[in-house]
């Protein structure tokens, strides 16, 4: 990933939000990089996958590049969308809201 593709965001003191950076991927997916809030401040890379209902994103914490490649392979049949499991057809989405 090219360094110029990332957009950085500063930390927020009032809400203890760590600095982060995001980059868009094809198909509406996003990569989010930040530090964990624990005392060790480890890197955390998360893939945000658009939900098939269109109301939000499903977050997947990645341990490394192999996790990213595996997840992208799993998403290929759905066109890069997270599919509701056990969906009853109602507007019930457990994803993180897009707004």
CA dihedral 64, 82, 84, 37 (to 10 degrees): 40
Cβ-contact 30, 50 below 8 angstroms:
no
Burial (CB count <10 Å: 0-12, 13-18, 19+), residue 57: buried
- What's the pLDDT score for residue 93? 63
Sign of the torsion angle spanned by Cα atoms 52, 71, 78, 26 = positive
- Other CB atoms within a 10 A radius of the CB of residue 93 amount to 19
CA end-to-end distance (rounded Å), the chain? 26
Q: Tell me, what's the pLDDT at 70?
A: 93
Place of tokens 């290929």: 76
Verdict on whether the full-model pTM lies above 0.85:
no
What value does the CA radius of gyration of the chain take, rounded to a whole number of Å? 15
Residue 94: the pLDDT is: 61
Read off the pLDDT of residues 24-78 as tens digits, 9 standing for 90 and up. Answer: 998 889 998 887 766 566 778 889 998 887 778 888 889 888 999 999 999 998 8
């Amino acid at each position: 990933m090219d360094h110029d593709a990332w957009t950085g965001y500063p930390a927020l003191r009032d809400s203890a939000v760590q600095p982060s950076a995001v980059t868009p991927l094809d198909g509406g997916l996003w990569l989010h990089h930040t530090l964990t809030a624990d005392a060790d401040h480890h890197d955390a890379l998360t893939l945000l996958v658009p939900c098939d209902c269109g109301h939000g994103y499903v977050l997947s914490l990645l341990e490394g590049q192999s996790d990213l490649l595996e997840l992208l392979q799993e998403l290929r049949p759905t066109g890069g969308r997270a599919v509701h499991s056990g969906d009853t057809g109602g507007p019930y989405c457990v994803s993180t809201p897009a707004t």
